[in-house]
């Protein structure tokens, strides 16, 4: 359980000196009542009109009635139902305040981060009257992947003329991108010597028909092809392709300045990578991740659900601004095994990303590039602005052409299109890759 | 303890605070000179700003405008008594916590303050009914006592700007 109590030391500064300032301070009600009474008294004195005291007398009476005894320090606890979730999933936040003596008013308010929204019927602000122990519950829905605090809980308590307030920022939540369903359409030409679900070129114990050969002692009788055996007058058996696993490495080009366009391209890349990783892991393939962006970070291919979470955690830290040019040659063979199919999500804006892609291709990796840029510069009204836009488009076309000349297919990911649809029209596989049997464009 | 139900789209107490605030700044105008209308407009703006924009100084400004208008008006004892009760009601309503959709229980809590205000008004009315002796010494002493009481009652406490002490359980 992730909980916070208002007693003790801060986790950010565990060695900080104990807080000596009082936590209770005059409530706003006491201040305005006293100020109104004082204003009336001053007006009475200055004008010499004693009846003006009547303006402040009720406020003074109410102020005198407010208790001034300092209550004991309340205990505050904020808990969450989980520390990680997928986009759109609901997380419950519970705030509890426990006071030794009942407080006149307890107000609990949740200030939600812009990446999240409030779900359920619970109001953002919840008020309790004359309560010693109160608990508020909110259901929040993180709308965007990332590692961020989903909000801040503000707790306010009033006891007579005194008032206390706490502001507790929730611990960061790991929100994983929600992967869309898709099929693993492409596999490298050379599959692993590991049992999987793809039809390999080698003969083995799979289910796909691979050929016919004469019977040899030891062959199971259920493999005998009766039609061919009768026609040739000699026993023949069917051969089947081996079912093998594949290696896939997803590469995210995270170069670029921070800004809305860069965020959108990265958002698209992360969602595409999540969909690919999920699709290949589902069929027992091994999947890895390489993030190009400043420091080169990679995760070697592995299989299983655990690998998905490792990949997702690395994607959460994909944005890392740097001027360093990555050296893909530094990626070890364990992270990028030879012959691995590499799918690159890139906006093709930064020359460092282009260089890394070309370098990988020259090292013989089968590559597919998915262009994640959906924005264009504003066209403008002036002639030179329109000319600049045309030059920009020409430059983009030249970049794509150069990649295609290297044998790298470049697919553009349009709006309102799923990645499965983007990859479907790729009729000609990239060198070193092949289309999976049964997946027709 | 269950929380207050979810607030309605138009908070009840916010509307009540606006109504009481406007009544507070408009009440003295019946006896006030012409220039007091400008002060009342200022007070009305403060009332609206406090209710709509959550301007914390709004109620004090509005009350100051009302007291200024009363100070130069020819309002009688009854008018001033009513104005004092309006001021109290407005200040209490403006301090209502957010999220109160059914303010019945909260209003019952404030009834004690209202009764105390009535008693205080009665006490002042009784004092005013007695023979009044004006004295500069008494005036200065009273003013000093009021200022002292204000400072004693509301010590300047620096609100903690640091975050609360927090432990991770």
Interval B100-127: pLDDT, tens: 767 788 888 888 889 988 998 888 888 8
Domains A67-176 and A247-435 share a fold: no
* Lowest mean per-residue pLDDT among A313-322, A360-369, B85-94: A313-322
The rounded percent of chain A whose pLDDT value lies above 90 is 22
Higher pLDDT, B1 or A211: A211
Is the per-residue pLDDT at A159 higher than 60?
yes
Of B83, B81, B92, B86, the closest CA to residue B120 belongs to B81
Whole-number mean pLDDT of chain A? Answer: 82
The model's pTM: 0.71
Q: Is A211 exposed, middle or buried (0-12, 13-18, 19+ CB in 10 A)?
A: exposed
pLDDT at A70 over 90: no
Please, how many CA atoms are within 13 Å of residue A194, restricted to the half-sphere of its CB? 11
Please judge whether A41 and B113 are an interchain contact, meaning their C-beta atoms are less than 8 angstroms apart.
no
More confident residue, A35 or A383: A35
Shortest Cα–Cα distance, A317 to chain B (Å): 24
DSSP B52-84: HS--TTHHHHHHHHHHHHHHTS---HHHHHHHH
Tell me the pLDDT band of B133, cut-offs 50, 70 and 90: low
A308 vs B163: which has the higher pLDDT = A308
Q: Tell me how far apart the alpha carbons of residues A354 and A371 are, in angstroms, rounded to a whole number.
A: 12
Q: How many CA atoms lie within 13 A of A174 on its CB side?
A: 12
User: Is the confidence at residue A198, as pLDDT, over 80?
Assistant: no
For A423, the enclosing helix (H) or strand (E) is: helix A419-423
Topology, domain A67-176: Immunoglobulin-like (2.60.40)
What pLDDT, in 10s, does the model give residues B151-165? 766 655 544 444 444
What pLDDT is attached to residue A22?
47
**Beta pairing partners, A20:** none
Q: What is the mean pLDDT of residues A188-200?
A: 71
pLDDT for residue B153: 63
Nearest CB to A129; choose among B94, B105, B116: B105
Of A431, A277, A284, A439, give the one whose Cα is nearest residue A368.
A431
- Closest CA relative to residue A170, chosen from A111, A99, A90, A107: A111
- A216-252 confidence digits (pLDDT tens): 999 888 889 999 999 999 999 998 887 777 888 999 9
Q: What angle do CA B53, B57, B59 make, to 5 degrees?
A: 85
| Chain B residues in contact with A163 (beta carbon < 8 A) | none
The pLDDT of residue B31: 87
C-alpha span between B32 and A102 (Å, rounded): 45
Q: Measured between CB atoms, which of B7, B56, B169 is closest to A28?
A: B56
Does the domain at residues A247-435 carry the CATH identifier 3.40.50?
yes
Classified as helix, coil or strand, A227 is helix
Nearest by CB to A52, from B71, B119, B125: name it. Answer: B71
- Considering A4-18, A303-317, A347-361, the range whose residues carry the highest mean pLDDT is A303-317
Beta bridge partners of A434: A187
Say what the pLDDT of residue A386 is.
Answer: 85
Check residue A369 and give its pLDDT: 92
Count of pairs with CB atoms under 8 A, one residue in A, one in B: 225
Q: Decide if A412 contacts A403 (C-beta within 8 A).
A: no
CA distance A140 to chain B (A): 16
Note the pLDDT tens digit of each residue in A378-433. Answer: 877 888 888 888 999 999 999 999 998 988 888 888 887 888 787 776 655 666 66
Chain A residue numbers touching B71 (CB-CB < 8 A): 43, 46-47, 49, 52
In angstroms, the CA B18 to CA B39 distance is 17
Copy the structure tokens of residue A16: 């900080």
- Most B CBs within 10 A among A3, A21, A55, A111, hence the mutation to make, goes to A55
Q: Say which of B114, B139, B164 has its CB closest to residue A167.
A: B164
Please state, in angstroms and rounded to a whole number, the distance separating the CA atoms of residues A207 and A200. 11
Q: Do A8 and B97 touch (CB under 8 A)?
A: no
| Cβ density class B119-135: b for 16+ within 10 Å, e for less | bbbeebbeeeeeeeeee
Residue A338 sits at the vertex; the CA angle it makes with A337 and A344, to the nearest 5 degrees, is 75
Domain ranges in chain A are: 23-66, 67-176, 201-244, 247-435
B1/A131 Cβ within 8 A: yes
Query: Strand A341-346 relative to strand A247-253: parallel, antiparallel, unpaired?
Result: parallel
A35, pLDDT greater than 80: yes
């Amino acid at each position: 359980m992730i909980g916070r109590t208002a007693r003790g030391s801060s986790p950010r500064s565990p060695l900080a000196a104990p807080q000596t300032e009082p936590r209770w301070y005059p409530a706003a009600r006491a201040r305005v009542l006293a100020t109104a009474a004082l204003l009336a008294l001053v007006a009475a004195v200055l004008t010499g009109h004693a009846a003006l005291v009547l303006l402040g007398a009720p406020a003074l009476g109410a102020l005198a009635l407010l208790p001034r005894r300092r209550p004991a320090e309340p205990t505050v606890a904020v808990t969450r139902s989980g520390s990680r979730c997928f986009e759109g999933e609901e997380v419950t936040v519970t705030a509890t305040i426990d006071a030794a003596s009942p407080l006149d008013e307890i107000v609990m308010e949740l200030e939600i981060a812009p990446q999240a929204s409030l779900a359920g019927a619970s109001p953002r602000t919840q008020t309790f009257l004359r309560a010693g122990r109160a608990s508020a519950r909110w259901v929040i829905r993180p709308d965007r992947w990332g590692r961020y605090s989903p909000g801040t809980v503000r707790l306010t308590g009033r006891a007579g003329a005194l008032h206390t307030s706490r502001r507790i920022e929730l611990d960061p939540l790991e929100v994983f991108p929600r992967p869309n369903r898709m099929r693993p359409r492409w596999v490298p030409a050379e599959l692993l010597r590991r049992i999987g679900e793809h039809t390999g070129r080698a003969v083995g114990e799979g289910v796909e028909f691979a050929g016919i050969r004469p019977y040899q002692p030891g062959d199971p009788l259920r493999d005998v092809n009766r039609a061919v055996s009768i026609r040739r007058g000699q026993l023949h058996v069917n051969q089947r392709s081996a079912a093998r696993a594949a290696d896939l490495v997803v590469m995210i080009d995270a170069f670029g300045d921070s800004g809305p366009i860069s965020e959108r391209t990265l958002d698209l890349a992360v969602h595409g990578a999540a969909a690919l990783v999920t699709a290949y892991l589902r069929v027992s393939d091994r999947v890895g991740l390489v993030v190009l962006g400043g420091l080169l970070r990679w995760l070697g291919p592995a299989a299983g659900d655990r690998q998905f979470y490792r990949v997702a955690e690395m994607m959460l830290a994909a944005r890392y601004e740097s001027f360093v040019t990555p050296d893909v040659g530094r990626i070890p063979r364990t992270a990028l095994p030879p012959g691995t199919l590499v799918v690159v999500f890139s906006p093709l804006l930064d020359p460092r990303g282009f260089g890394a892609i070309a370098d990988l291709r020259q090292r013989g990796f089968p590559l597919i590039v998915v262009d994640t840029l959906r924005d264009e510069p504003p066209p403008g009204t002036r002639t030179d602005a329109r000319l600049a836009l045309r030059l920009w488009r020409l430059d983009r076309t030249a970049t794509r052409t150069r990649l295609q000349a290297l044998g790298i297919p470049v697919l553009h990911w349009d709006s309102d299109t799923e990645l499965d649809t983007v990859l479907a029209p790729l009729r000609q596989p990239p060198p070193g890759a092949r289309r999976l049997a049964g997946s027709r464009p | 303890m269950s929380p207050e139900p979810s607030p309605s789209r138009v908070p009840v107490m916010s509307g009540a605070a606006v109504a009481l605030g406007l009544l507070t700044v408009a009440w003295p105008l019946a006896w006030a000179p012409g220039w007091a209308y400008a002060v009342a407009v200022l007070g009305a703006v403060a009332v609206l700003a406090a209710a709509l924009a959550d301007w914390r100084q709004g109620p004090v400004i509005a009350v100051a405008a009302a007291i200024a208008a009363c100070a130069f008006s020819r309002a009688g004892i009854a008018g001033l008594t009513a104005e004092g009760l309006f001021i109290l009601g407005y200040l209490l309503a403006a301090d209502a916590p957010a999220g109160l959709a059914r303010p019945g229980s909260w209003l019952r809590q404030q009834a004690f303050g209202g009764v105390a205000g009535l008693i205080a008004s009665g006490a002042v009315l009784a004092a005013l009914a007695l023979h009044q002796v004006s004295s500069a010494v008494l005036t200065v002493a009273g003013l000093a006592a009021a200022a002292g009481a204000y400072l004693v009652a509301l010590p300047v406490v620096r609100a903690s700007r640091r975050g609360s002490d927090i432990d991770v359980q």
